[in-house]
């Protein structure tokens, strides 16, 4: 009798029909230059694409203040959108689905990654200690209430940019928002594209 491996059976995920259930998890590779994913990333994702398979991009910054690690990509500028387009296209050409994981690291950052060497932003001015992998996070600056809409706006722009780049969906990873609401926002994932585009 033929055996069926559950992992290799089709799955309907909302509007998406996956041919199997092996998903490429978001994996920060730190190979971007100046926030731009490089052409080698086209091959990287293409090699990992299967027909009807789902791939999630590495965590991708929504703004200048979103970064906390060297070499991570962004999706808030026109150039970044253009750099993502051929990557998404390569995945689509092989029949894969590509979601962009948009993120803001909040206080998991240091001044070296922040514009003008400023303190990272958070809902608190308490630093996150200890750091990991040789990084000591900087003492953050507590966001003023009137600054929060800007962060939400940045998420919306990043989502729009991901649509423009061809992504099917967004997957929100927000260490910054997590800190505000007290839960780790990663399992709130798979937010439908248009739900964060509405005002």
Ligand X SMILES: Cc1cc2nc3c(=O)[nH]c(=O)nc-3n(C[C@H](O)[C@H](O)[C@H](O)COP(=O)(O)O)c2cc1C
Instruction: Give the footprint of ligand X on this chain (CB under 6 A).
Output: 25-28, 58-59, 101, 173, 186
Identity of the residue, 23 or 139, whose beta carbon is nearer to ligand X in the bound complex: 23
Query: Per residue in 124-138, is it b (16+ CB within 10 Å) or e — as a string?
Result: eeebbeeeeeebebb
Nearest distance from residue 28's CB to ligand X, in Å? Answer: 4
The structure tokens listed for 58 are: 């590495």
Tell me the closest approach of the beta carbon of residue 101 to ligand X, in angstroms: 6
Terminal Cα distance for the chain, rounded: 55
| Closest CB to ligand X among residues 49, 60 | 60
The smaller minimum CB distance to ligand X, of residues 24 and 138, is found at 24
CB of 1 vs ligand X, minimal distance in Å = 30
Those residues whose C-beta lies under 8 Å from the C-beta of residue 134, and which sit 6 or more positions away, are none
Residue 57 beta carbon to ligand X: minimum distance, rounded to whole angstroms: 8
The 3-state DSSP class for residue 27 equals coil
Nearest approach, Cβ of 56 to ligand X (angstroms)?
8
Q: 27 or 150: whose CB is closer to ligand X?
A: 27
Q: Which is nearer to ligand X, 58 or 154 (CB)?
A: 58
The answer to whether the Cα torsion of 8, 12, 18, 23 is positive or negative is: negative
Q: Which is nearer to ligand X, 22 or 27 (CB)?
A: 27
- Are 49 and 94 a contacting pair, CB within 8 Å? yes
Residue 13 pairs in a beta bridge with: 16
Q: Nearest Cα to 151, choosing from 181, 128, 116?
A: 181
Give the separation between CA 69 and CA 85, rounded to whole angstroms. Answer: 23
CB of 116 to ligand X, least distance (A): 25
């Amino acid at each position: 009798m033929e055996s069926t491996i559950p992992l290799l059976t089709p799955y309907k995920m909302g509007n998406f029909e996956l041919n199997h259930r092996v998903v490429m998890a978001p994996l920060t590779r730190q190979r971007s230059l100046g926030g731009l994913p490089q052409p080698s990333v086209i091959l990287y994702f293409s090699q990992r694409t299967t027909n009807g398979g789902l791939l999630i991009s590495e965590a991708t910054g929504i703004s200048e203040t979103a970064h906390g690690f060297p070499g991570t990509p962004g999706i808030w500028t026109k150039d970044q959108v253009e750099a993502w387009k051929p990557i998404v296209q390569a995945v689509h050409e092989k029949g894969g689905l590509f979601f962009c994981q948009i993120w803001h690291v909040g206080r998991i950052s240091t001044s070296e990654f922040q514009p003008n060497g400023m303190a990272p932003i958070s809902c608190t001015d308490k630093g996150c200690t200890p750091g990991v992998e040789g990084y000591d996070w900087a003492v953050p600056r507590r966001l003023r209430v009137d600054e929060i809409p800007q962060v939400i706006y940045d998420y919306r722009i990043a989502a729009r940019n991901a649509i423009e780049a061809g992504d099917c969906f967004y997957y929100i990873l927000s260490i910054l928002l997590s800190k505000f609401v007290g839960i780790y926002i990663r399992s709130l994932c798979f937010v439908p594209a248009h739900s964060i585009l509405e005002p």
